[in-house]
Amino acid sequence: MGDFHQTGTITTLHNLTRRPLEDLEAELVEFSKRTPIGLVLPSLYSELEGPALGNILDELAQVPYLNEIVIGLDRADADQFAHAKEYFGRLPQPHHILWNDGPRMQAIDQDLRDKGLAPQQRGKGCNVWYCFGYMLASQRSRAVALHDCDIVTYDRSLLARLVYPVAHPSFSFAFCKGYYARAAGGNMHGRVSRLFVTPVIRSLKRIFGQVEYLDYLDSFRYPLAGEFSLQADVLRDLRIPSDWGLEIGTLSEVQRNYSRSRLCQVDVADLYDHKHQKLSADDPSGGLSKMSNDIAKALFRKLATQGHVFDQGTIRTLKATYYRIALDFVEAYHKDALMNGLGFDRHAEEQAVEVFVQSIVRAGEQFLQNPMETPFIPSWNRVVSACPNIQRQLLDAVEADR
Q: What pLDDT, in 10s, does the model give residues 103-159? A: 999 999 999 999 999 998 888 899 999 999 999 999 999 999 999 999 999 999 999
The count of other CB atoms within 10 Å of the CB of residue 139 is 10
pLDDT 10s digits, 327-350: 999 999 999 999 999 989 999 999
Integer angstrom CA distances of residue 91 from 67, 74, 167, 273, 355: 12, 19, 22, 23, 42
| pLDDT at site 268 | 95
| pLDDT at site 181 | 84
- Domains assigned to the chain: 11-401 (3.90.550.10)
Q: Compute and round to an integer the Cα radius of gyration of the chain.
A: 21
pLDDT 10s digits, 295-332: 999 999 999 999 999 999 999 999 999 999 999 999 99
Q: What is the arithmetic mean of pLDDT over 232-241? A: 93
Q: What is the arithmetic mean of pLDDT over 237-266? A: 90
pTM: 0.93
Residues of the chain above pLDDT 70, percent? 99
Q: In terms of C-beta density within 10 A (0-12 exposed, 13-18 middle, 19 or more buried), how is residue 123 classed?
A: middle
| pLDDT at site 2 | 57
